[in-house]
């Protein structure tokens, strides 16, 4: 039987092996490394379905006091693996851009790292899903963040990318500082770093509540940065636009999902406090309004997706504010599918034309398959029934109605209306507008397969959501 | 059988998208669905009030969610309407220049969504099927529309999206307001819960208001109606036929389905509001319709206006009025589809629908003139047509409403005002008919050709259904009423 920690170890070994090949086998086509990475991760993904359950959190000691293998964490390990596999597929399509902007035409020297670093990020995301101790949360978060520092500014000849990299570095470091400071406050008040024990000691009356709350707010600031919640969203549009497109996709799915998992775990001790609740509702409303309104006038699709990722953080926060973990997780799963699908199309199309919405003009004629994939992604992001995105919103609104969160519902419905406008703007460009360019856009077989799988998954989950609901019950 | 009716258009749409010959596939599919619907109608046991032809697949046991379809008298009539109008709309679609396959695909998707919504017993799918039409409508107006199509397409899409999310909130609230053990989206289970009195008065009021606003936006109830005329004016004729004729009835159907059996107290609480709003539809929008200078806008507004009558029937809360509402839904769907079809043919030939530019068209297009005349007479409620049967039932029903609200004789006043609506609609319909088809023929329209013989068939289909229903309303009433009899008093 496989135990959960073996999965991360396997992923780490895979990453190191690929790095070794990158260093010593200079003659090979570096794309092989990506294929090897995809195959390796796929093997781990399959293995993750046969993981033995861990001892329950109450009597956990030693290693198991900071690492859990509950159904939530297993689900998110699979989530991280799947995301990384899809991102690697996108990276293969994106490789020509990297070659041009890094090596200056000199061999394919930098590509290996471009394919290896995401695997380490993946390991970090997987650790984060299992972390139930602040120290461990911090370490895995840093593994993710540092690998993203490298990835975001990877195409470093491009000044926009460089700017994005610096912005991400500075603001991310700042948020890390907040996290550490928050952890020290919580440790100072409770004398614990394990979340379970913090919960227990907070229940004691002898605890300084306001100090604990202050620590929690500091942690919330750091996580707000990760999930792109207002007012910590300033970095998102620029970094998303500047970073290499597959990395943007990775940031907006992987980083955000990990942030939400940690948020769900970290907030558990504090959810009983009304202050936390009010704060979350406020952040959710601000995030919804900002993300959706700012997305309205965008003409650049990459930037639009950045704002849309802020908007979706808002919907996810509704779920968090209503204490409905299941709704949040379902929404994240749907978000993974539709965001990666839209980025996959963007990666291919932007190499031919560009990443403005007007560059998608007439795509319906030029490349019906890509246009259809984008249509499904956009429709799902907007929330049309029979797509996974709709069910995500359905569960979120369900939770909000159960909690009678009138304000969240009003804002939620209005912003859904905004969402229809800016997502359908892309659809309009693809089908209404015509273009002079009529040449076909080439798609590799692997991407075509991945996109078809994503389309089927979006529609499949939109009609039959039970598999995910079951996976969480396990 | 029923599943075939639902999925035939959808499967055909997919086939067409991947490259099957568009027009042939669409025609065959819509004829097949109509044939099977007629067969289902024949085999429907009208006196039963239970659902028939029920099939069910469990989707999520945790949520008591299942894909359940079935027909009772009311939904049977609506499915019949949808299939008739679909066939007519597909038939009227001529040669399409751009993306021909996508055009037919979108039409069939709208139709499949409407049929699915009418045939769903499960509220989740009832809602979801309706939304299936949203994106195709956006594309139909956006790609193939005319006039101010961009604004129209955005308006209808965003209006309907917001409206349906409000509706969704109402449905979720409905689901949550019964005890946890009996929660279900199955309307039969909800009816059972309502029979046990599990919907509290307060919950009913909130749910009904949400449903009224949500459905109201979808049906173009008075303050939320501004999307409709513009969208119908800009949409290509087959899309306008399907949307105004069939899809818009979804909201009314939903109110009939949900409000009367499940939320009687909520409905009663908001009756005064509804009556005021529907008078806005009949009188205000009616007067606006008279002022229209273009045929397509006039038809768009008239379809908004006629919704007022149907709301009056629903608000009347007795069996006569409600049956009349259902009857008028069917009749209006057919007549407005006919009118939009003819208007679309005229636009195709002349390139304009400005009433002042047209005139005397009946001389060159006698058959189109006849068809439009029949449609206009039907829409203005001439006896012999189905609309008359519906309207008269609504007015009688509303005058003696089921709740006997004494305050200000609300319903009596509303009925009298509503009767003026008949005058208004006669005025604008006849005026439009006179201006477009009578009078002197302009020199430039001398060479117009009449509808091709092939196009007589869908016109005959629509007119035939209207007349058939108009002369034998009793046969339809018999299959509609059992759905409401347990919940409403007969008119004493």
How many C-beta neighbours within 10 Å does residue B195 have? Answer: 12
Q: Distance between CA atoms of A37 and A18, rounded to whole angstroms?
A: 7
Eight-state DSSP code of residue A300: B
B135 contacts in A (CB within 8 Å)?
Answer: 375, 379, 384, 424, 427
- Beta strands per DSSP E along B43-90: 52-60, 65-71
Collapse the DSSP code of B70 into the 3-class scheme (helix H, G, I; strand E, B; otherwise coil) and give the result. strand
Q: Is B130 within 8 Å of B243 (Cβ atoms)?
A: no
Vertex B131: Cα angle to A414 and A365 (nearest 5)? 100
A375 contacts in B (CB within 8 Å)?
Answer: 135
Say whether A427 and B176 touch across the interface (CB within 8 A): no
Q: Which candidate from B142, B143, B162 shows the least CB-CB separation from A417?
A: B162
ipTM (interface predicted TM): 0.88
Say whether B128 and A401 touch across the interface (CB within 8 A): no
Q: Which candidate from A375, A384, A401 shows the least CB-CB separation from B134?
A: A384
Say whether A385 and B131 touch across the interface (CB within 8 A): yes
CB contact set of A470 (below 8 Å; sequence gap of 6+): none
Q: Distance between CA atoms of A178 and B180, rounded to whole angstroms?
A: 42
Q: How far is B18 from chain A (nearest CA, A)?
A: 10
Residue A147, Cα to own-chain centre: how many angstroms? 14
The answer to whether A379 faces chain B, any CB pair under 8 Å, is yes
Q: Distance between CA atoms of B491 and B401, rounded to whole angstroms?
A: 8
Q: Is A346 within 8 Å of A287 (Cβ atoms)?
A: no
CB contact set of A417 (below 8 Å; sequence gap of 6+): B158, B161, B162, B165
Q: Is B107 contained in some domain?
A: no
Q: Is B95 within 8 Å of B348 (Cβ atoms)?
A: no
Closest CA to B275 of B420, B422, B417: B417
Q: Encode burial over B156-182: b for 16+ CB neighbours within 10 A, e otherwise.
A: bbbbbbbbbbbbbbbbbbbbbbbeeee
CA-based nearest residue in chain A for residue B100: A365
Q: What pLDDT, on the 0 to 100 scale, is given for residue B199? A: 83
Tell me: the pLDDT tens digits for A105-145?
555 566 778 888 999 999 999 999 888 888 999 999 999 99
A465 contacts in B (CB within 8 Å)?
Answer: 59-60
Q: Which candidate from A375, A397, A420 shows the least CB-CB separation from B157?
A: A420
Q: Is A123 within 8 Å of A62 (Cβ atoms)?
A: no
Mutate to test the interface with B, among A406, A417, A418, A459 (most CBs of B within 10 A): A417
Q: What pLDDT, on the 0 to 100 scale, is given for residue A313? A: 93
Q: What pLDDT, on the 0 to 100 scale, is given for residue A342? A: 93
Identify the bridge partners of residue A348 per DSSP, sorted by sequence position: none
Q: Which candidate from B99, B127, B162 shows the least CB-CB separation from A413?
A: B162
353-372 of A, contacting B, C-beta below 8 A: 364-365
Q: What pLDDT, on the 0 to 100 scale, is given for residue B489? A: 61
How many C-beta neighbours within 10 Å does residue A61 have? Answer: 7
Q: Which candidate from A379, A421, A464 shows the least CB-CB separation from B135?
A: A379
B176 contacts in A (CB within 8 Å)?
Answer: 398, 401-402
Residue A104: which region, alpha, beta or left (left: phi > 0; alpha: psi -120 to 50)? left
Q: Distance between CA atoms of A161 and A358, rounded to whole angstroms?
A: 22
Q: What pLDDT, on the 0 to 100 scale, is given for residue B352? A: 79
Q: Is B184 within 8 Å of B194 (Cβ atoms)?
A: no
Identify the bridge partners of residue B65 per DSSP, sorted by sequence position: B60
Q: Is A240 within 8 Å of A167 (Cβ atoms)?
A: no
Residue carrying the six token digits 């939904």: B75
Structure tokens at B142: 């956006």
Say whether A417 and B161 touch across the interface (CB within 8 A): yes
Confidence of residue A49 (pLDDT cuts 50, 70, 90): confident
How many C-beta neighbours within 10 Å does residue B373 have? Answer: 17
- pLDDT for A103 beyond 60: no
Backbone angles phi, psi at B146, to 5 degrees: -135, 175
Q: Distance between CA atoms of B74 and B86, rounded to whole angstroms?
A: 18
Say whether A420 and B161 touch across the interface (CB within 8 A): yes
Q: Which candidate from B60, B102, B169 shows the least CB-CB separation from A466?
A: B60
Instruction: Give how far Cα A116 sits from Cα of A12, A32, A102, Å.
Output: 10, 11, 16
Say whether B131 and A384 touch across the interface (CB within 8 A): yes
Q: Distance between CA atoms of B82 and B85, rounded to whole angstroms?
A: 5
The answer to whether A382 faces chain B, any CB pair under 8 Å, is yes
A409 contacts in B (CB within 8 Å)?
Answer: 169
Q: Distance between CA atoms of B362 and B220, rounded to whole angstroms?
A: 32
CB contact set of A61 (below 8 Å; sequence gap of 6+): none
Q: What pLDDT, on the 0 to 100 scale, is given for residue B492? A: 39
Q: Is A325 within 8 Å of A68 (Cβ atoms)?
A: no
Q: What pLDDT, on the 0 to 100 scale, is given for residue A275? A: 80
Identify the bridge partners of residue B57 per DSSP, sorted by sequence position: B67
Identify the bridge partners of residue B69 per DSSP, sorted by sequence position: B55, B120
CA-based nearest residue in chain B for residue A395: B172
Structure tokens at B418: 């509503």
pLDDT, greater one: A473 or B247: B247
Q: Is A16 within 8 Å of A123 (Cβ atoms)?
A: no
Positive or negative, the Cα torsion across B473, B479, B480, B486? Answer: positive
A367 contacts in B (CB within 8 Å)?
Answer: none
pTM of the model: 0.90
Tell me: the pLDDT tens digits for A454-463?
999 999 988 8
Q: Is the peptide bond before A61 cis (omega within 30 degrees of 0)?
A: no
Q: How far is A416 from chain B (nearest CA, A)?
A: 7
Closest CA to A30 of A103, A82, A81: A103
Q: How far is A431 from chain B (nearest CA, A)?
A: 7
A385 contacts in B (CB within 8 Å)?
Answer: 127-129, 131-132
Eight-state DSSP code of residue A271: T
Instruction: Give how far Cα A196 sits from Cα of A2, A62, A193, Å.
Output: 25, 14, 9
Q: Distance between CA atoms of A372 and B75, rounded to whole angstroms?
A: 33
Mutate to test the interface with B, among A388, A401, A456, A461 (most CBs of B within 10 A): A401
The answer to whether A398 faces chain B, any CB pair under 8 Å, is yes
Q: Distance between CA atoms of B185 and B173, rounded to whole angstroms?
A: 11
Q: What pLDDT, on the 0 to 100 scale, is given for residue B389? A: 86
- Cα within 13 Å of Cα(A463), Cβ side: 9
How many domains are contained in chain B?
Answer: 1
A383 contacts in B (CB within 8 Å)?
Answer: 165
CA-based nearest residue in chain B for residue A409: B169
The answer to whether A472 faces chain B, any CB pair under 8 Å, is no
Instruction: Give how far Cα A279 sits from Cα of A229, A271, B151, Å.
Output: 12, 11, 39
Q: Distance between CA atoms of A31 and A11, rounded to whole angstroms?
A: 18
Helix spans in B120-200 (H): 123-131, 134-144, 149-176, 187-195
Backbone angles phi, psi at A299, to 5 degrees: -110, -10
The secondary structure of B296-358 as a DSSP string is HHHHHHHHHHHHHHHHHHHHH-SHHHHHHHHHHHHHHHHHHHHHHHHHHHHHHHHS--BTTT-
Q: What pLDDT, on the 0 to 100 scale, is given for residue B405? A: 60
Structure tokens at B299: 């038809």
Q: Which candidate from B60, B157, B162 shows the least CB-CB separation from A469?
A: B60
Instruction: Give how far Cα B278 sits from Cα of A342, B396, B477, Å.
Output: 43, 17, 24
Identify the bridge partners of residue B415 per DSSP, sorted by sequence position: none
Q: How far is A379 from chain B (nearest CA, A)?
A: 8
Say whether B127 and A385 touch across the interface (CB within 8 A): yes
The answer to whether A37 faces chain B, any CB pair under 8 Å, is no
Tell me: the pLDDT tens digits for A352-387?
888 888 888 888 888 888 999 999 999 999 988 889
Tell me: the pLDDT tens digits for A62-101?
777 778 888 888 888 988 999 999 999 999 888 888 877 7
Write out residues in chain B with pLDDT < 70, as ranges. Answer: 46-48, 401-408, 489-492
Structural domain including A398 reads: 297-474
Q: How far is B112 from chain A (nearest CA, A)?
A: 14
Q: Distance between CA atoms of A347 and A228, rounded to whole angstroms?
A: 22
Q: Distance between CA atoms of B172 and B123, rounded to whole angstroms?
A: 10
Helix spans in A353-387 (H): 363-366, 368-382
Collapse the DSSP code of B122 into the 3-class scheme (helix H, G, I; strand E, B; otherwise coil) and give the result. strand
Say whether A416 and B161 touch across the interface (CB within 8 A): yes
Q: What pLDDT, on the 0 to 100 scale, is given for residue A474? A: 57
Q: Is A154 contained in some domain?
A: no
Q: Is A157 exposed, middle or buried (0-12, 13-18, 19+ CB in 10 A)?
A: exposed
Structural domain including B283 reads: 270-492
Q: How far is A6 from chain B (nearest CA, A)?
A: 33
Vertex A449: Cα angle to A445 and A451 (nearest 5)? 115
Say whether B176 and A364 touch across the interface (CB within 8 A): no
Say whether A466 and B99 touch across the interface (CB within 8 A): no
CB contact set of B444 (below 8 Å; sequence gap of 6+): none
| Strands B52-60 and B65-71, bridge-based pairing | antiparallel
Identify the bridge partners of residue B66 per DSSP, sorted by sequence position: B58
Eight-state DSSP code of residue B55: E
400-459 of A, contacting B, C-beta below 8 A: 401-402, 409, 413-414, 416-417, 420-421, 424, 427-428, 431-432
Q: Is A98 exposed, middle or buried (0-12, 13-18, 19+ CB in 10 A)?
A: buried
The answer to whether A466 faces chain B, any CB pair under 8 Å, is yes
Q: Is A462 within 8 Å of A391 (Cβ atoms)?
A: yes
Instruction: Give how far Cα B244 sits from Cα of B57, B232, B239, Å.
Output: 31, 7, 8
Give chain A's end-to-end CA distance (angstroms, integer).
17
A421 contacts in B (CB within 8 Å)?
Answer: 154, 158
How many domains are contained in chain A?
Answer: 1
Q: Is A59 contained in some domain?
A: no
Percent of chain A at pLDDT > 70 equals 95
Under 8 Å CB pairs connecting chains A and B tally to 79
Q: Is B65 contained in some domain?
A: no
Mutate to test the interface with A, among B126, B172, B213, B236 (most CBs of A within 10 A): B172
Q: How far is B309 from chain A (nearest CA, A)?
A: 29
B128 contacts in A (CB within 8 Å)?
Answer: 385-386, 390
Q: What pLDDT, on the 0 to 100 scale, is given for residue A381? A: 93
Residue A365, Cα to own-chain centre: how many angstroms? 32
- Can you tell me the mean pLDDT for A244-259? 90
Say whether A394 and B168 touch across the interface (CB within 8 A): yes
């Amino acid at each position: 039987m496989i135990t959960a920690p073996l999965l991360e170890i396997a992923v780490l070994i895979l990453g190191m092996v690929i790095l070794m090949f990158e260093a010593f086998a200079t003659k090979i086509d570096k794309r092989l490394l990506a294929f090897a990475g995809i195959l390796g991760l796929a093997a781990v993904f399959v293995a993750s379905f046969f993981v033995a359950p861990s001892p329950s959190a109450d009597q956990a000691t030693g290693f198991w006091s900071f690492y859990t293998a509950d159904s939530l964490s297993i689900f998110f390990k699979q989530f991280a693996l799947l995301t990384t596999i899809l991102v690697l597929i996108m990276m293969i399509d994106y490789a020509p851009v990297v070659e041009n902007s890094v090596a200056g035409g000199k061999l394919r020297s930098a590509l290996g790292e471009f394919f290896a670093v995401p695997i380490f990020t993946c390991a970090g995301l997987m650790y984060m899903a299992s972390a139930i101790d602040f120290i461990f949360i911090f370490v895995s978060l840093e593994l993710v963040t540092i690998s993203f520092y490298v990835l975001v500014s990877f195409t470093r000849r491009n000044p926009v990318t460089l700017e994005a990299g610096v912005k991400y570095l500075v603001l991310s470091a700042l948020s890390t500082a907040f996290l550490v400071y928050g952890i020290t406050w919580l440790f100072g008040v409770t004398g614990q770093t394990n979340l379970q024990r913090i919960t227990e000691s907070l229940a004691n009356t002898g605890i300084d509540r306001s100090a604990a709350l202050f620590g929690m707010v500091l942690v919330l600031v750091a996580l707000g940065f990760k999930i792109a919640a207002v007012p910590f969203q300033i970095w998102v549009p620029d970094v998303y636009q500047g970073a290499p497109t597959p990395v943007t996709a990775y940031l907006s799915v992987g980083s955000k999902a990990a942030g939400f998992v940690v948020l769900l775990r970290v907030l558990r001790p504090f959810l009983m406090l009304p202050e936390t609740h009010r704060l979350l509702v406020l952040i959710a409303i601000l995030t919804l309004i900002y993300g959706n309104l700012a997305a309205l006038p965008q003409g650049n699709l990459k930037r639009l997706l950045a704002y849309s990722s802020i908007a979706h953080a808002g919907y996810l926060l509704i779920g968090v504010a209503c204490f409905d973990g299941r709704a949040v997780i379902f929404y994240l799963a749907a978000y993974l599918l539709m965001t990666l699908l839209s980025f996959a199309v963007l990666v291919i199309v932007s190499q031919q034309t560009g990443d403005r919405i007007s560059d998608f003009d007439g795509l319906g004629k030029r490349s019906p398959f890509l246009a259809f994939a984008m249509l499904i992604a956009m429709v799902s992001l907007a929330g049309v029934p029979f797509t996974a995105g709709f069910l995500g919103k359905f569960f979120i609104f369900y939770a909000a109605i159960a909690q009678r969160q009138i304000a969240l519902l009003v804002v939620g419905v209005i912003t859904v209306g905004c969402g229809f406008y800016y997502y359908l703007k892309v659809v309009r460009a693809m089908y209404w507008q015509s273009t002079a360019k009529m040449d076909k856009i080439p798609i590799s077989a692997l991407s075509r397969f991945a996109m078809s799988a994503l389309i089927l998954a979006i529609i499949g989950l939109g009609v039959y959501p039970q598999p995910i609901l079951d996976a969480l019950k396990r | 059988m029923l599943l075939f009716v639902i999925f035939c258009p959808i499967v055909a749409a997919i086939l067409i998208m991947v490259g099957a010959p568009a027009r042939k596939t669409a025609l065959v599919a819509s004829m097949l669905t109509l044939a099977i619907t007629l067969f289902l109608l024949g085999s429907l046991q009208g006196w039963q009030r239970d659902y028939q032809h029920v099939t069910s697949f469990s989707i999520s046991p945790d949520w008591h969610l299942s894909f359940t379809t079935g027909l009772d008298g009311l939904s049977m009539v609506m499915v019949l309407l949808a299939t008739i109008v679909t066939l007519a709309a597909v038939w009227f679609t001529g040669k399409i220049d751009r993306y021909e396959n996508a055009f037919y695909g979108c039409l069939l998707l709208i139709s499949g969504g409407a049929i699915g919504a009418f045939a769903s017993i499960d509220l989740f799918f009832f809602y979801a099927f309706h939304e299936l039409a949203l994106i195709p409508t956006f594309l139909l107006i956006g790609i193939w529309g005319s006039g101010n199509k961009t604004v129209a397409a955005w308006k209808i899409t965003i209006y309907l999206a917001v409206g349906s999310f409000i509706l969704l909130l109402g449905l979720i609230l409905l689901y949550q307001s019964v005890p946890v053990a009996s929660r279900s989206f199955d309307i039969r289970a909800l009816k059972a819960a309502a029979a046990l009195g599990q919907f509290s008065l307060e919950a009913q009021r909130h749910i009904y208001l949400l449903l009224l606003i949500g459905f109201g936006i979808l049906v173009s109830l008075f303050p939320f109606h501004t999307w409709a005329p513009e969208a119908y004016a800009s949409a290509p004729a087959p899309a306008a036929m399907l949307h105004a004729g069939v899809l818009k009835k979804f909201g009314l159907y939903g109110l009939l389905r949900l409000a009367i059996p499940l939320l009687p107290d909520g409905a009663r609480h908001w009756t005064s509001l509804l009556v005021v709003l529907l008078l806005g539809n009949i009188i205000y929008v009616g007067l606006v319709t008279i002022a229209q200078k273009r045929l397509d806008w006039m038809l768009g507004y008239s379809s908004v206006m006629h919704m007022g009558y149907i709301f009056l029937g629903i608000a009347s809360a007795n069996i006569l009025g409600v049956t009349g509402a259902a009857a008028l839904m069917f009749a209006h769907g057919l007549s407005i589809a006919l009118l939009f079809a003819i208007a679309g043919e005229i636009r195709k030939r002349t390139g304009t629908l400005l009433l002042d530019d047209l005139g005397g068209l009946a001389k060159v297009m006698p058959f189109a003139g006849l068809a439009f005349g029949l449609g206009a007479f039907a829409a203005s409620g001439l006896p012999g047509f189905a609309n008359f049967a519906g309207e008269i039932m609504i007015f009688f029903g509303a005058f003696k409403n089921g709740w006997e609200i004494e305050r200000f004789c609300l319903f009596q006043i509303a009925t009298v005002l509503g009767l003026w609506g008949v005058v208004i609609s006669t005025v604008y319909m006849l005026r439009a008919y006179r201006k477009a088809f009578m009078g002197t023929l302009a020199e430039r329209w001398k060479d117009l050709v009449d509808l091709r013989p092939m196009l007589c068939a869908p016109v005959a289909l629509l007119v035939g259904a209207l007349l058939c229903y108009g002369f034998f309303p009793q046969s339809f009433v018999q299959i509609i009423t059992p759905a409401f009899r347990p919940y409403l008093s007969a008119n004493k």
